[in-house]
Structure 1
Amino acid sequence: MEQFGVLTLGSRLKRLSDHLFTQVQDLYSQCDIPITSTYFPVLRLLQKVGELSVMEIADSLHLSHPAVSKQTTKMLKEGLLEKKIDERDQRRSSLRLSKKGVEAMIKVEPVLKEMKVVVEKMTDFSSDNFMKGLEQFEKHAFDGRVANKILDRLTPFQIIPFEPCHGEAFYDLNMMWLKHYFPNRITDYDLALLSNPQDYIIGKNGIVWVAVRKTNGQDSVLGTIALMVHSDVNSGEVLKLSVANHCQGKGIAQTLLSHVMEYAESVGVNTLTLETASCLTTARHLYDKNGFVEMPPPKPSLYERADVYMEKSLEKELRVIT
């Protein structure tokens, strides 16, 4: 359909709309939300203003009167709305949320909050051409993961050791990060390590962990981190900390880093090291907050993009008891 350009704009928008409604309905079903995705504009409007007639709802939402009438009739039958008759004119009535409707809107609020974040990230691109912008949005919308991305933000996650089934996600998350920040500085070593963490990290006295949401017997990987332990000098290097773009702001990076620090201390590591880049301000803030200190690098980095070397001491302070 895309090959016909603006001539199929209406059809593409309809296809996009239908797909998003389906994704949202799937999400509501999984979260046991007792509303239909198409009901939201009416429910939100009445939640904010209280009572309105069908005509007033139609005017406020810029929808046709028959369409709103048909939809609100269904919502009345489902018990989400209730009708209030005008005491001065029995021919007039208004609609308001029922107790069930109020409870449904309270229950859906956390879902809507995370849905807003995910959709905003899907639309976070610049384009001076509407059709090109639409194509970019379609690319994100039709990846089949809109509902799952929202669930990734809603559902508690856990940190578990890397398994072979996490290999594709480990590659994709870290490669996405590289392409976003350093598209022209991806090396052959990057590709080899990301493609085979078993040999390049785990096989060299390293450990990889992933942050996952358990779903239908499968792991939805939200983030990764690794630790290379150098037993000869009791130090360890933190590397490959990455978090899925749609899960930013949920504390996953902090949880992964805290897990590594606790593990390192438990196995006798005295010093943690890492390399980062001065342009990565969010990462630098995370490391500063967790006690990593910038130091002169002991040796040249394997990566041209890494211009900051940091260390954190894990040795507990000795207390003199008198």
Structure 2
Amino acid sequence: MLKIVPFEEEYKDVFRDLNLLWLERYFYVEEKDHELLNDCQTHILTRGGLIFIGLLDQIPVGCYSLLKKTDGIFELGKMAVDENFQGLKIGQQMLAHAIDFCKMNQWKKIELYSSTKLNTALHIYRKFGFKEIVLEDSAPYARSDIKMELIL
């Protein structure tokens, strides 16, 4: 059974490495990725964001972050599942956890940036109620060609 736990320093390499693997597989690692992944403490956690790690039999197999944009609005990002454990609905369990966590904290909205190349991810986001919204010209990643939100 998947156990989702808050970030601890011991997971910083896991968080970085899981994300680097999928980024390098489908795209390339951008400057903002390096910033968030190499110093998540400064660029995510101290700015009011959170990181969660998915453990299967105590083995880290997935992760995601919630980056604070404004009060009550967070960006879901850096969600990754170890390719050796894909197909077990780990990503869906982590997404459900993120939504429940945000609702529990009475936040207003979750936003995310993605790519239309990631059909499986987009299908899951839509399944959980995310709707496509206008992508601003200053999207944080070059690979982002779609923006979605979930009003809580």
Task: Tell me whether 1:194 sits opposite 2:37 in the alignment.
Answer: yes
Q: Which has the higher contact order (CA 8 A, sep 6+)?
A: 2
Deviation sequence 1:168-222 (CA, Å, 0-9, x none): 1111110000110003xx22221121111111111110000000134xxxx4210
Task: Tell me whether 1:259 sits opposite 2:97 in the alignment.
Answer: yes
Quote the Cα distance in structure 1 between the aligned partners of 2:5 and 2:145: 30
SS of corresponding position for 2:147: strand
- Where does 1:145-156 land on structure 2 (aligned, <5 Å)? 156=1
Quote the Cα distance in structure 1 between the aligned partners of 2:69 and 2:139: 16
AA in 2 matched with 1:259: H
**Which residue is 1:207 aligned to?**
50
Residue ranges of structure 1 left out of the alignment (5+ in a row): 1-155, 315-322
Structure with greater strand share of residues: 2
- Where does 1:237-276 land on structure 2 (aligned, <5 Å)? 237-276=75-114
Structure with greater helix share of residues: 1
**Which residue is 1:223 aligned to?**
62
The TM-score with structure 1 as length reference comes to: 0.46
By how many angstroms is 1:267 displaced? 1.1
Task: Tell me whether 1:173 sits opposite 2:18 in the alignment.
Answer: yes
Q: What RMSD, in angstroms, separates the aligned Cα atoms of the two structures?
A: 1.3
Q: After TM superposition, where is structure 1 displaced by more than 6 Å over at least 4 residues in a row?
A: none
Percent identity between matched residues is 30
- Where does 1:114-129 land on structure 2 (aligned, <5 Å)? none
Conserved? CA contact 2:32–2:141, under 8 Å: no
The partner residue of 2:128 within 290, 293, 298 is 290
Structure index of larger Rg: 1
The TM-score with structure 2 as length reference comes to: 0.94
By how many angstroms is 1:270 displaced? 1.2
Quote the Cα distance in structure 1 between the aligned partners of 2:52 and 2:119: 24
Deviation sequence 1:217-245 (CA, Å, 0-9, x none): xx42100011123443x211100110000
SS of corresponding position for 2:32: helix
Quote the Cα distance in structure 2 between the aligned partners of 1:207 and 1:157: 19
Quote the Cα distance in structure 2 between the aligned partners of 1:213 and 1:261: 20
Conserved? CA contact 2:135–2:145, under 8 Å: no
